[in-house]
């Protein structure tokens, strides 16, 4: 029996209160309105940014259904949708690409003005919600809320991908892989023979390493306070790994000494004030570039002596690896299908969706890289 045009009742992971486990609840998912798409989820990865919602580091109205790294199949489409149809394999996009705004028309930038990451309204682009639970509206996360068996997304926040793509793997293209890999190849534009330092060796940081390696970096220094992350980092291209706790000197001084005054490119993929500063200072004062990938919690701000930049450093950052999402995601999937890269080293755990709280415990205890939940 077709579900098109009807409310679907299904299971979703709802966060009712900060710092509490998710409750798997029955929710109602409204049909897509005009220019919207309802997607049946097949696989979803757990990214540390979802945990920032649980802890309140990213402040959203509650209750909310998080999740932003996924792949699924179109169940139905609203009026006027032309770029996907029921049955298509798709990846929801946490940074949309409307194609019309100033940013979409800019040749380089990708942070489309239709995004919800800046405002965190917790709604669809029209300001309303499509989920209800126990009679209450439930908020969306970044316009895609993928911790649900079914979700509704705006058409500009979903990309059609190769029908042969394995969804339980390419879901990582929805965030972690693209965010990290693009930070190296597209935002920093890492050069052949260069030196790089990557702070934070989680799913996103390891993807930065994959990007640095693909761009031909000669030296890639991995930095993490959890030594258990070093083996994977080396497998993926780190030439050496260091733990700041093993050094008396500040870690940026250690890296400056190791790399002839500082690395060419550094990446902060932790999201802490201290590591943001260390990453900035460990790149060469005259020719180094430092890329912000992580975000410091809450109101943390950095105070920087302008001399740090006056000498010639570049300090930059970006969302989703700088990729224009709707255009780039099908290409990133095509490159995966052509075996340009593999995600086997990144996916440490696969478990059923119902075990989502176990997946978050693994992330918080540093035991997983990426847990993929299957529906
Ligand atoms: N020094 C070095 N490494 C550290 C330190 C430290 N002081 N503290 C923690 N780490 C390491 C951890 O041991 C871990 O290995 C790694 O940092 C973090 O890895 P994960 O797996 O927990 O996190 P990721 O890779 O899933 O995500 C990291 C982000 C930095 C992207 C995320 O936390 C973040 O800041 N997100 C906000 C930015 C955003 O919204 N981006 C868009 C969607 S991702
Ligand atoms: Zn993410
Ligand atoms: Zn736009």
Distance CA 301, CA 98 (A): 31
In angstroms, the Cα distances linking 203 to 40, 173, 177, 338, 357 are 24, 11, 7, 21, 18
- Six-digit token pair at 229? 């992350």
Residues 146-183 as b/e (b if ≥16 CB within 10 A, e otherwise) read bbbbbbbbbbbbbbbbeeebbbbbbbbbbbbbbbbbbb
- Residues near ligand 1 (Cβ within 6 A): 47-49, 52, 175-176, 179, 199-205, 223-226, 229, 244, 269-272, 275, 293-295, 319, 363, 366
Distance CA 207, CA 34 (A): 36
Distance 243 CA to ligand 1 centre (A): 15
Residues with Cβ within 8 Å of 257's Cβ and at least 6 positions away in sequence, in order, are none
- The per-residue pLDDT for range 184-239, each reduced to its tens digit, is 999 999 999 999 999 999 999 999 999 999 999 999 999 999 999 999 999 999 99
Q: Do residues 110 and 329 lie in contact, with contact meaning Cβ atoms separated by under 8 Å?
A: no
Tell me the ligand closest to 70's alpha carbon. Answer: 2
Atom of ligand 1 nearest to the CA of 51: 33
Distance CA 228, CA 160 (A): 36
**57: number of Cβ within 10 Å:** 17
Q: What is the pLDDT of residue 297?
A: 73
Which of 205, 200, 201 minimizes the C-alpha distance to 272? 200
pLDDT > 90? residue 296: no
Distance 143 CA to ligand 3 centre (A): 14
Tell me the ligand closest to 116's alpha carbon. Answer: 1
User: 356-364 and 48-55 helices cross at what angle (nearest 10)?
Assistant: 100
- The per-residue pLDDT for range 27-70, each reduced to its tens digit, is 999 999 999 999 999 999 999 999 999 999 999 999 999 999 99
- The per-residue pLDDT for range 237-288, each reduced to its tens digit, is 999 999 999 999 999 999 999 999 999 999 999 999 999 999 999 999 999 9
Residues above pLDDT 90, as percent of the chain:
97
Q: Do residues 207 and 177 lie in contact, with contact meaning Cβ atoms separated by under 8 Å?
A: yes
Which of 299, 16, 279, 303 minimizes the C-alpha distance to 134? 16
- Six-digit token pair at 192? 């052949």
Which of 118, 136, 280 minimizes the C-alpha distance to 199? 280
CA atoms in the 13 A half-sphere facing the CB of 19: 3
DSSP state of 80: T
Tell me the ligand closest to 324's alpha carbon. Answer: 3
Q: What is the pLDDT of residue 15?
A: 98
Distance CA 113, CA 146 (A): 21
**Helix, strand, coil tally for the chain in percent (to 5):** 30, 25, 45
Domains of the chain by range and CATH? 177-321 (3.40.50.720)
Q: What is the pLDDT of residue 299?
A: 64
Residues with Cβ within 8 Å of 204's Cβ and at least 6 positions away in sequence, in order, are 47, 48, 175, 176, 179, 180, 269, 293, 294
Residue 314, helix vs strand vs coil: strand
Can you tell me the mean pLDDT for 303-330?
Answer: 97
Neighbouring residues of the ion ligand 2, judged by CB less than 5 Å: 47, 49, 175
- The per-residue pLDDT for range 299-311, each reduced to its tens digit, is 678 899 999 999 9
- The per-residue pLDDT for range 143-183, each reduced to its tens digit, is 999 999 999 999 999 999 999 999 999 999 999 999 999 99
Q: What is the pLDDT of residue 79?
A: 98
DSSP state of 263: B
- The per-residue pLDDT for range 127-142, each reduced to its tens digit, is 999 999 999 999 999 9
Atom of ligand 1 nearest to the CA of 203: 25
């Amino acid at each position: 029996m077709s579900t098109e045009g009807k409310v679907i009742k299904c299971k979703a992971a709802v966060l009712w209160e900060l710092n509490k486990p998710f409750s798997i609840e029955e929710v109602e998912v409204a049909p897509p309105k005009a220019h919207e798409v309802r997607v049946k989820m097949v696989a979803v990865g757990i990214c540390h940014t979802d945990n920032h919602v649980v802890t309140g580091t990213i402040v959203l109205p509650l209750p909310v259904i998080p999740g932003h790294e996924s792949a699924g199949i179109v169940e139905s489409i609203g009026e006027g949708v032309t770029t996907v149809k029921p049955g298509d394999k798709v990846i929801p996009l946490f940074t949309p690409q409307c194609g019309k705004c100033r940013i979409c028309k800019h040749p380089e930038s990708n942070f489309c003005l239709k995004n919800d990451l800046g405002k965190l309204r917790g709604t669809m682009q029209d300001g309303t919600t499509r989920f209800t639970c126990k009679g209450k509206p439930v908020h969306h996360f970044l316009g895609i809320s993928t911790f649900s068996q079914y979700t509704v997304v705006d058409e500009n926040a979903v990309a059609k991908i190769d029908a042969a793509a394995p969804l339980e793997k390419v879901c990582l293209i929805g965030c972690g892989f693209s965010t990290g890999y693009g930070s190296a190849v597209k935002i920093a534009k890492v050069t052949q023979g260069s030196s790089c330092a990557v702070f934070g060796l989680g799913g996103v940081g390891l993807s930065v390493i994959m990007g640095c390696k693909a761009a031909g970096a000669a030296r890639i220094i991995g930095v993490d306070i959890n030594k258990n992350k070093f083996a994977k980092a080396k497998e993926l291209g780190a030439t050496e790994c260091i733990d700041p706790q093993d050094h008396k000197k500040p870690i940026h001084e250690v890296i400056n000494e190791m790399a002839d005054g500082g690395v060419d490119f550094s990446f902060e993929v932790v999201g802490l004030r201290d590591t943001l500063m260390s990453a900035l200072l460990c790149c060469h004062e005259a020719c180094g570039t430092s890329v912000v990938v992580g975000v410091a919690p809450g109101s943390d701000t950095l105070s920087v002596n302008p001399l740090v930049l006056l000498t010639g450093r570049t300090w930059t950052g970006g969302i989703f690896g700088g990729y224009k999402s709707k255009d780039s995601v099908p290409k990133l999937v095509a490159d995966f299908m052509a075996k340009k890269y593999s995600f086997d080293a990144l996916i440490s755990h696969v478990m059923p969706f119902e075990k989502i709280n176990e997946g978050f415990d693994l992330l918080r205890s540093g035991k997983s890289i990426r847990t993929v939940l299957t529906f």
